[in-house]
Chains A and B, each alone.
Chain A
Amino acid sequence: MRMNGAQIIWECLVREGVDTVFGITGGKVIPLYHELPGFPIHHVTMRHEQAAAHAADGYARATGKVGVCVATSGPGATNLVTGIATAQMDSSPIVAITGQVASADLGTDAFQEVDITGITMPITKHNYLVTNVTDLAQALREAFHIARSGHPGAVLVDVTVDAQMGVTEFVYPEDVNLPGYKPHTTGNPRQIAQAAEMINAASRPIIMAGRGVVVAGAGQELTALAEKARIPVVTTLLGKSAIAESNPLYLGMGGMHGEGYTNMALQSADLIVNFGARFDDRFTSTAQTFAPRARVIHVDIDPAEIAKRIRVDMPIVGDALNVLRQLLPLVQEADRGEWMSTIDHWRQETGERSQRWEQSEELVPQHIIRSLSEITHGEAIMVSDVGQNQMWEAQYYTHNRFRGLISSGGLGTMGFGLPASIGAKMGCRDVPVWLVVGDGGIQMTIQELATIRQEGLPIKIALLNNGYLGMVRQWQELFYDKNYCGTPLLGPEFARLAEAYGIAGITVHSKDDVVPALKHAAEVDGPVLIDFRIEQEHNVFPIVPVGRAIDDMIRRPRTDEQPR
């Protein structure tokens, strides 16, 4: 069939299973948008291209499918950059399609010309500049394949206007042939057998689960392995929800803001079995001090992640799902009661340290998140932004739904949360979506409240409003002589702002109003924003200061200790 380039783009998207795209139009994508009404794809008109990329990313993380965003050339394309880098860092499969000036004008500094393939080269898994309509279908087919397979990531396809308008015979390329790209997906059987032996011989093993488990859809298999061999599970921030967090074997998130017992367990372990985490510095702290007694098995689809920061005793290249299935029959049932009771002893101490906030009459964030967790039974899709709000969400919400936490981990992009929640909701209409966000981060993409309204999305927003760029203020308090330079924020009346966008707004000042407000928001049909005026100088504990081992942390003050 003869088609123009714009039609070919949409047709390829349909064949890839895309039903939703996030974007903003402009001069160099008008031909593309002109053809959209003929295809079964819903376009969400965002208010900023950065938000379009985050929404595509949120969609991908919530559904496991490829998210798609569209922008025009020049400023549209450069606005995508933060969103592309965010997705790439967290292995989130997105395809970004940008318009480009006519091929004859390339390199002439034409109006709204920018070298977006050059700019995004280091922040994409791969990218394409398509100048001829005949190359378009092949490029898109490859783009989707590359984005979703292996170690997933962001792929950008830049299409000149003449390629969008040119006409050719459309042939859908059934096969992708990339001689330089053949991800290994199953583990080497010999290494698997040796890993199983190491697991069977360990007396203090820990399973460490990262984003790779979530990407691979291997939650059940991971849980099965942990339960069969009675091995406690620690996750990274992005590995959260790999195992239901109400499972007694779940030890929480490790690392800089990991619980005392979690980090102590890691440091005392004799074996760490890492599935799909990259031993990032926020997790390990200084590499030399991490898990000094442990041998390490590292399972990752990406060979380049293995032995990048931490020495590995048993590398296994493969997809977490396949490797878990290979390992499961070889791993013996075990009790490991002694190890669990050691950990439980540490866990009890953490519990005692939590009494301080539990007894507090102030409006503290712990209470808000814990109540939200109870009201939603840990089954909502939680989206968090960046900062203290992100860590409180991670520490106090019990994520029981697989793929139930969406957050920018690797890049730590403030402003990610609100647009990502739009993507998540578009992908999972039947699941409640809650956003936990700070007063700083929400203002980086607050214009997307208009998108929520226009799409009629019942997203619930819990704004933890402390009047500060709180996480930075906390560092200033603890490590920089309380020099609060550049961190106080004079915010707007967020509830009234929400109302101006046509979204219900509630302001909560006291602890007693928390549960009623959350319940109300959970029950009403539309979007709600709750502005929680939390204690302003509340800190995230524990915290591991830079350069220290992860069990050498500043802990929560006990009830009988001076608050820090």
Chain B
Amino acid sequence: MSSIYQEIILEHWKRPHNYGRIKSPSKKTSVHNPSCGDRLKLEILFNRGKVKEAKFTGQGCAISQASASLLTDHVKGKKAADLEKINQKTIIKLLGVEIGPARQRCALLSLEALKKIIEK
């Protein structure tokens, strides 16, 4: 049976990128998945219409943590308008494995946070 605990996810789970807070973020938000208790805070600093910094904190399973780590890497340097193009497919591609239906919400928690920030 193939496992979703492959290299990319494990690497980002053990050494998450961009974990922490930004001093004075342009935008921030937090999301919560009550069914498993995962919580995620996402902060973004824009500079001249581009993402200068993106950081997250929170607790969750390896999938949700790895996805937040990967997504914060991914958005850096992107124009605000380009953030809107990020979707489910982007996340799955970043994670590098198929995510079963039971774990979709874990994988997409960081995306939910990003969408919330864009809407603000």
A, B assembled together: no
Which A residues are within 8 Å of any B CB, using their own CB? none
